[in-house]
Every structure is written in C-alpha cells, then in structure tokens.
Structure 1
Amino acid sequence: MKLYYTPGVCSLAPHIALREAGLEFTLEKVDAQTKRTDAGCNFLEVNPNGYVPALEIKPGTILTEGPAIMQYIADLAPSSALVPQAGSFERYRLQSWLNFITSEIHKGFSPLFKAEMPPEAKRIFRDQLARRFDHVERHLSQHEHLLGSGFSVADAYLFVTTGWSPFVGIELERWPALLAYRKRIGERPAVKAAMQAEGLIK
C-alpha cells in the first residue's frame, strides 16, 4: 500500500494508523500547492479533489477520505484493536466520534488558515471550535481515550487536528484534560515514528 500525504495535515492520522496496525506501506509526499508528488506524478490523477490523504491499496484502487481510510487500515489488522468489531454498538460510537472530528473540528479549522478571512470571521470560528473543545474536555476529564476500549483511530484523528491549534491562535491551556490527553497520545511509539517520518519532530 502507498499513502499519499502532506506533512502535518490530516493525512498524518492514517499514517499513524498504518504504523499502529503494523502494516507494510510506502509514503509519497504531495505538494499541496502544485499537486505534484515527490515522484513527479500529478496527484490530481490520484484524487481529482486534490487533497490528501489517499491510500493506494493496489495499482488502480484508491481510497480517499481520512475516516474511511483509517477504518479500512484498522480492519486489515484486527489484532491491533484500532476499531471495535463491525456491527457492534462501539463501532457506531467510533463512527460518531470520527464524524464529529471531521465535521466539527477538522473543518472548523479550515477558515482559520485562510489569509483572506476577515479577523472578525476568524473570531467566530475560534469561538465555535472552543465550544467543540469544551465537549471533548468534558469527555476526556473522565476517560483516557475517546472509546472505553482504549486507543483507536479516532484518537489519532483528534490528536492530529487539535495539534493545529497553536498555528491559528488557539491556546489549549484552558482545556487541561485535552492537553494531558495530547501528551499521552504523543508519547506512543507509532505516533512518534509517524511524526519523525514527516519531519515534524526529531
């Protein structure tokens, strides 16, 4: 398998999942501006939408969208316990968290990275993200992970997206449980390995 990625963006979450699952894979870096890969390929031929992640399962078979990719990866390695069993209520709870992260947190950050967005509009989006972080804080003040079963792909996704906070002027100190959670997740060997591979840490 090959993961198309850009350092530090949402593709870091399936990158972490691949390492947590212990699967064999290769990486191909994508320039977010030019849509060219390090190998010289036109990434738009891989994903016409132009954004990462994309997982090439075999030549000609591409899966896109991070939550779907992470569940696929986890199902390839059931012993890793990165997702609950298909059909179980806990699997739907996982999907609930993945949908919350992708629609309420991940997409909530997008306007904050746009230089043309007026400051007053960015304040509205920051306030909205703060309310979402309040929800996460309440949960993490009583739980080690998002699911009772332990670390899951949802944790990888939340770790990655909340890591963008300092770049858009959001200080996480007001959410101590979230800060402690990020420290725990960041100490996982697979998380460190993925971040090192993307040049995010030494």
Structure 2
Amino acid sequence: MTKLFYIPGACSFGPHMALREASIPFSLQRVSFVDERSGEPIAVLNRAAREKGYRAVYGDNRPFREISRKALVPALLRDDGMLLTEGSAIYQFIAQAAPRKSLAPPEGSREYYVFLSWLSEIASRVHKAIHVISHYGLSGDIREQWKAGLIECLDRAADLIRRTGYILGEFSLVDLYAFMNWHVAVDVVIGDFSRWLDIADYFDRISARPAVSEAIVTEGTQARYFRSIVGVGR
C-alpha cells in the first residue's frame, strides 16, 4: 500500500488531500522533530530550534533519513518501493494513478503542460518564498522581493479563478496545491486576505470538498487553519 510520510499541517497536507481526492488506498506515517542532543520532542521547528540542532524521526523514534536522505516531507512510498520526495512529482503520480478522477488534464495535451507549469511555479515562487522568509528571518529589500514574487504569482492565479472558477478552468490538483500554499502565504508572509476577498467562494468550495475536510479532520488542530483563510485580516 502507498504510504505518505507527513507532518500535520505541513506541506505534506497537499499530497494528503490529493490521495483522498484520487481514492487511492494509502497509509499515513507521521514524522516528528526531536532535539539533536536530548531527544526531546520539538513542537515548532523555528529558527532557534534549527540553530540548536534537530533530527526528524518516525515510528518508534527511528531516523527519518533511513527513508529519505532529504529528511523532508512530503515523502510518498509507492507500492513498488519507489520513493517520491518532491511535491510536483507526487501530484503528477497521483493524477496519473487515478485517470478516471480527471485530477489533471490528459497527459501530453496542451493543458497538461499548463498543469505542469503551475505545479512548478507554485513550488518555486510561492512555496519557496514562504520557506525562505519564515525560516531564515529575511528582512528589508530581500524579504520584499521574495514577497512581491509570491504575490504576483497568486494574483495571476486569482485572475484565472475569477474568469473560470478554477486555475485551469476545471478542478485539478493544482487547485489543492494553490489552496494549501495560499493559506500559508497569508498566515506567514502577507498577513491578510483583503486583496482576494472577491474570490472567497473559491476557498469555500475547495475547503468543502470531502477529501479536504477528511484530511483536515485526520491531521487535527495543526491543519484546521486551512478552513479559515478568508477571515484573516478582515
């Protein structure tokens, strides 16, 4: 059975939602962080914890590097033993594993390459910006440059949503990836949702999908803020 290594409320939440959308049988294996020296659990992997030293563990306190040398989530262990460790690859695999669900445009079509483009752009311009800003304490012009690139990408996605209801015109896994990162960007980088209030119904529609609701309930309190993006900053 496919296994997803995850941290509640982290970027592994996207593949978690996607697996449920695809109705692919899977199991969840939680990953946690502990202090490098004491072995005590770390509740929040902030800058101070990183500087002090930490390691990722799973199961009975086993080193996560046994599974992935990157020691990062998401990590998806396929039925055939292959490990996928990048979100964009994981979303493509899930879409192709459930073709009848139409979670991506047909492979090889023009629309499919737009799908790939959005996966790559969200990873490199939104997800990366969130990571760099939140974990490395950027300030001044450098922070603003990363933030501006992130907002520009989300603004273009918002324009597409205004015109067609979804980023690609029909629901796809790109919407789940954007939904997750949009929440974190508002919460961690931007601080309010005011520039996108006119597409609030899009987030309501995504959060109301059974797969999304199930993932939120399963991951618990750390994922519940994915329901509340529209109220931030109002």
The alignment's TM-score, normalised by the length of structure 2, stands at: 0.79
Cα 1:124/1:178, change in 2 over 3 Å: farther
Give the structure with higher Rg (CA). 2
- Displacement of 1:83 in angstroms is 1.2
Query: 2:5 touches 2:30 (CA, 8 Å); kept in 1?
Result: yes
- The number of residues matched between the two structures is 201
The corresponding residue for 1:17 is 18
- Displacement of 1:118 in angstroms is 2.9
Structure 2 CA distance for aligned equivalents of residues 48 and 41 of structure 1? 13
Structure 2 CA distance for aligned equivalents of residues 60 and 23 of structure 1? 16
AA matched with 1:28? Q
The corresponding residue for 2:121 is 100
The corresponding residue for 2:96 is 75
The corresponding residue for 1:156 is 176
The corresponding residue for 2:188 is 167
AA matched with 2:8? P
- Displacement of 1:66 in angstroms is 0.8
Structure 1 CA distance for aligned equivalents of residues 81 and 96 of structure 2? 21
- Displacement of 1:173 in angstroms is 1.4
- Displacement of 1:39 in angstroms is 4.0
Structure 2 CA distance for aligned equivalents of residues 153 and 178 of structure 1? 18
AA matched with 2:95? A
Cα 1:67/1:113, change in 2 over 3 Å: same
Query: 2:160 touches 2:168 (CA, 8 Å); kept in 1?
Result: no
User: In the alignment, is residue 126 of structure 1 matched against residue 142 of structure 2?
Assistant: no
| Per-residue deviation, residues 40-89 of structure 1 (Å, max 9, x unmatched) | 33111211112111111137421121111111112111111111211111
AA matched with 1:97? W
- Displacement of 1:3 in angstroms is 0.2
Higher relative contact order (CA 8 A, sep 6+): 1
The corresponding residue for 2:230 is none
AA matched with 1:160? M
Over aligned residues, Cα RMSD in angstroms? 1.9
Structure 1 CA distance for aligned equivalents of residues 75 and 31 of structure 2? 10
* Structure 2: 5+ residue stretches without partners: 34-53, 228-234
Structure 2 CA distance for aligned equivalents of residues 38 and 167 of structure 1? 29
Which structure carries more helix by proportion?
2
